Amino acid sequence: MASLPSRSPLEELPSLGLAVLDAIPINVYVVDRRMRVVAWNRHREQGPLGRPRREVLGRHLRDILSRQGFRAAEPILKRVFESGEPHEDTTESRDGARLLHTRRLPVFHGRAVTHVVSWFEDITDRRALEMRLIATDRLAYLGQQVAGVAHEVSNPLAGIAGCAEALASLAMKGERDDVVREAREFRDLIRGELARCERLVRSLLDSARRDPSSTADVPVVVGTALRLLERHPAFVKVRVVSRIPSGLPLARIDADSLKQVVMALASNAARAMPGGGTLSLRAARHGGLVVLDVIDVGPGVPPSLRSRIFEPFFTTRAEEGTGLGLAIARSLVRGRGGDIVCGARRRRGALFRVSLPTAEATK
């Protein structure tokens, strides 16, 4: 039977081992069975939570991590030491703003686990890109379906219009004035509803083929959108404060799309304040962008949901909507080279920021 080496693998090649750890472009540290830190790579020294290597080597892990961080890490490390099985998970940073993917890998000395290598990387941006690609695919599919539905709906609408006219003509041949008058009233009602349906069909079809050269006057469009929302039940207890200066450059987006974006954001903000509150809109120019902020004083958006609220069909109010408003709004804005983000506020509430290229910047 071959004798075991007198030293652990980490002790045999310290220089090479340290060089290898420092070459890994993510945060890495190693602990022994007594939870002492025996390795701490260069990337683990950097960043807002980093500590110099000389301050941590040889110390117990509880003295290095936060109390919450150690409580979360200790049982996982013990499990890896006991089972010899690796472990990985994804958690949020303490402030909830970042996603961290962590791996714990056992280091064997013979059959015994002598050390555990822990490494973690910030996958916030990668996850956001993945979700953006998923949302893009869903919206592309949704766009195809919407266009197909719009085309199909236009045919029965034409048939309904013809039937309404035929019924009105037949009724007018009668002798009773009250019947003729009632037939005309019903015909006019049907015409009105048909006109609404036709506008909806045109809007659905147009959304898939917006003119990329279109521009919008932000103050005018915001004013129009707010006037349309005045009578909405959600705005009964909401005070609207609009600080949209005149003289802003034209934004590279068509007016209908921008109006749809403003109405979606403002409606969501109002619903977030069922007991009443202030909805603030402000706009300014920042370089080659027109930036529009929509701010409410509701409960705000939890950090864990900020990366999901723009997903198609994702909603926290399933009884009130389909979860498409924000997804479509972001799609319209991104289709013009802009973006919508949900930001955190120091006080209560949520802030949605719409950034659009100016017409001048895209010439």
Q: Read off the pLDDT of residues 96-129 as tens digits, 9 standing for 90 and up.
A: 666 778 889 898 988 889 999 888 777 777 766 6
Tokens encoding 119: 């490494």
The pLDDT assigned to 141 comes to 62
Rounded to an integer, what distance in angstroms lies between the CA atom of residue 120 and that of residue 69?
A: 13
Within 10 angstroms of residue 3's Cβ, the number of other Cβ atoms is 5
DSSP summary character for residue 234: G
Q: Which residues contact 105 (CB under 8 A, 6 or more apart)?
A: 80, 86, 116, 117, 118, 119
Using a pLDDT cut of 70, give the percent of the chain over it.
69
Alpha-carbon dihedral sign for residues 8, 13, 14, 16? negative
What percent of the chain shows pLDDT beyond 90? Answer: 21
Cα–Cα distance measured from residue 84 to residue 116, given in angstroms and rounded to the nearest whole number: 9
Per-residue pLDDT, 51: 77
CA 136 to chain centre: 12
The pLDDT assigned to 152 comes to 61
- CA dihedral sign of residues 118, 122, 126, 132: positive
Q: Is pLDDT of 250 > 70?
A: yes
Q: Strand, coil or helix: what is 327?
A: helix
pLDDT exceeds 50 at position 4 = no
Using CA atoms, how far apart are residues 17 and 297, in angstroms rounded to an integer? Answer: 53
pLDDT beyond 90 at 179: no
Q: What is the pLDDT of residue 3?
A: 43
- Determine the pLDDT at residue 12: 41
Please state, in angstroms and rounded to a whole number, the distance separating the CA atoms of residues 323 and 320: 9
CB-CB contact of 281 with 222 (8 Å): yes
Which phi and psi (to 5°) does residue 77 adopt? Answer: -60, -45
Closest among 40, 110, 116, 31 to 81, alpha carbons compared: 116
**Owner of token pair 């004035």:** 177
Of 135-139, 146-150, 207-211, 323-327, minimum mean pLDDT range: 207-211
Q: What tens digit of pLDDT does each residue of 333-358 get?
A: 887 889 998 876 666 788 999 999 99
pLDDT value, residue 6 = 45
Q: How far is CA 238 from CA 131, 271, 325, in A?
A: 33, 9, 20
* pLDDT confidence bin for 326, thresholds 50/70/90: confident
For residue 155, the model assigns a pLDDT of 61
Task: State how far Cα 157 lies from the chain centre.
Answer: 36
Query: Letter for the amino acid at 286?
Result: H
Q: Which residue bears the tokens 């993510």?
A: 26
pLDDT in tens, 267-287: 888 888 988 899 999 999 998
Place of tokens 């509701």: 298
pLDDT of residue 150: 61
Q: Which of 44, 43, 73 is nearest to 60 (CA)?
A: 73
